[in-house]
Amino acid sequence: MYSRPVALVTGSSRGIGAGIAAELARHQFAVAVNYYRSPQPAAELVAQIEAEGGSAVALQGNVGLGMDRERLISQTLEKFGRLDVLVNNAGITSPGRRDVLEATEESWDEVFDTNLKGPFFLAQRAAQAMIPLIGQKKIERGTIVNISSISAYAVSTNRPDYCIAKAGMQMMTWLLAARLADCGIRVYEICPGVIASDMTAPVREKYDRLIAEGLSPIRRWGQPSDVARAVVAVVSDAFPFTTGERINVDGGYHIRRL
């Protein structure tokens, strides 16, 4: 059994997920780097982590598929013998960014499978693995971190499926937090704001303007490292009397202003 705590980070071959995986590795976590279609960036991240003295493995899997979710958990346990942290980061934007009146069932199913159903059932399976490990004192406790979005409460009428899936993640976090507290597992939701990533690259010019105009009190783009540091904070023992908490990493965007 591996001596360091182990984290599985979904969708971590690039963007926010890669930032989270790298930061966890710097804080002495072994990391399972999950990718779906990007093996090369995942391999490069694993190599980077190992070059810095850490331990990592790249695991292929689509979180929207049950058999892939099972494989991600089983391969993490086979590699390291433990699982301390799950970071549900994998997510996709709304295909085609269609208006509410033009949204399709196909788009809805695709977004919900990846952004809500997959994270819920992966968290369920991770908890089922963590509970006996805690009971056997092989790990001290477990943590599940759900990476949501300000789109959980900020309307984008051209991304209804994405917004509704992210809104559902708060209730998912609360449900898991309430159920798993007695088991020694804490659950958190992190809501990134406008973060520089592949997902926001197509709308870079729009957000450059909005940020300059004061979209958030802190007038800059968020970086994957900003989200990563929040993840490290909640998986550490810095907040032992919290669970089910939403943490905004958005430059203050969530503050209502007149």
Q: What is the pLDDT of residues 9-30, one digit of tens each?
A: 999 999 999 999 999 999 999 9
SS3 (DSSP) at 168: helix
Distances (CA, A) of 2 to 77, 124, 137, 144, 191: 10, 23, 14, 19, 31
Is the residue at 13 inside a domain? Answer: yes
Q: What is the pLDDT of residues 120-175, one digit of tens each?
A: 999 999 999 999 999 999 999 999 999 999 999 999 999 999 999 999 999 999 99
CA–CA distance, 103 with 70 (Å, rounded to integer): 31
Is the residue at 135 inside a domain? Answer: yes
pLDDT given at position 199: 75
The answer to whether 146 and 243 have CB atoms below 8 angstroms apart is: no
Is the residue at 243 inside a domain? Answer: yes
Indicate which CATH number applies to the domain containing 151.
3.40.50.720
162, 188, 207, 253: the active-site residue: 162
Q: Which residues pair with 88 in a beta bridge?
A: 146
Here the tokens at position 195 are 């973060």
- Number of domains observed in the structure of the chain: 1
Q: What is the pLDDT of residues 167-221, one digit of tens each?
A: 999 999 999 999 999 999 999 999 999 999 877 778 889 999 999 999 999 999 9
Q: Enter the pTM of the model.
A: 0.96
Catalytic, 162? Answer yes
Q: Which residues pair with 191 in a beta bridge?
A: 248
